[in-house]
Amino acid sequence: MRNQSALRSKLVSSPYILWAILFIIAPMIFVVYYSFTTASGDFTLDNIKFLSKYLPTFLRSIWFGIVATLICLLIAFPTSYIISQKSDKMQRTLILLVMLPMWMSFLIRTYSWMAILQDTGLINSFLIKIGIDPVHMINTGGAVILGMVYNFLPYMIMPIYSVMAKLDFSMIEACQDLGGNKINVIRRCIIPLSMPGIVSGITMVFVPSVSTFYISQKLGGGSFDLIGDVIERQFQQSYNYNLGASLSLVLMILILVCMAVMNRFSGDEGEMVI
């Protein structure tokens, strides 16, 4: 009997295990394999040595990722709190509005921002019309970060909101009752209690921001290369799979390190994170 049920559970889980092996574990092994080999398959560390050339790009990616994540957090935290304090019906409507842009293709949304930000785009045409000098916006770092914030904001709002919606209001009353003013309530009560949402929001915005390539190409005009762009080019244009793989590997490790640091901060005594 025991063997039979063990067999059955193996059978049931086999599609997932197969899936994981084919599409998660095997590619990882390939990434590692390519990172340490030449095009002809010999072992080498050249790919890794070569990476130092891309250090500025790595740093820029991480910097942009941090800035975009922080801006998302600053917008999402109060937004989530306000939404969570509304009536149930209002909450559903507002969350729907937050999600609505995600029903459209990511590519189309980014293209729309090009149309809005261009030198001859919506904003500048309007500025010219009312007699103000046009502002150069497209192809700047700011435009890239704007693109990241715009695209990934819902991923920050959703987890924070879902924690806040479940927040026991008597906690806030208890904090006030013990002498806490508004600032104390936010700092000592709402922030620590919504920490799980904040951490997963940060993860969900930071990871795609660091590794994005499309946003920087369209809104940065090629002058703000991020590491994702470099990786894409290795595979799409230079056909240098080995360098591409080693870049991916390092990016992966960097992200894991960042996440580990984050999680350390958000541990049980995570009151002092922000």
Distance from C-alpha of 23 to C-alpha of 26, rounded to nearest angstrom: 6
Contacting residue, 1, 3, 268, 272, with another protein by CB under 8 A: 268
Instruction: Output phi, psi for 43, to 5 deg.
Output: -65, 140
Q: Near another protein by CB under 8 A, which window of 52-60, 163-171, 234-242, 257-265?
A: 163-171
Contacting residue, 5, 170, 237, 272, with another protein by CB under 8 A: 170
Q: Near another protein by CB under 8 A, which window of 27-35, 115-123, 170-178, 203-211?
A: 170-178
Q: Near another protein by CB under 8 A, which window of 24-32, 70-78, 245-253, 265-273?
A: 265-273
Q: List the structure tokens of 131.
A: 């007699």
Residue 45 lies near another protein (rule: CB under 8 A)? no
Residue 204 lies near another protein (rule: CB under 8 A)? no
Q: Residue 41 CB: number of other CB atoms within 10 A?
A: 10
Residue 175 lies near another protein (rule: CB under 8 A)? yes
Q: Residue 36 CB: number of other CB atoms within 10 A?
A: 17
Residue 181 lies near another protein (rule: CB under 8 A)? yes
Residue 179 lies near another protein (rule: CB under 8 A)? yes
Q: Residue 184 CB: number of other CB atoms within 10 A?
A: 13
**Exposed, middle or buried, 76 (CB in 10 Å: 0-12/13-18/19+)?**
buried
Single-letter residue type at 207? V
Binding site for another protein (CB under 8 A): 168, 170-171, 173-181, 184, 188-189, 192-193, 195, 268, 270-271
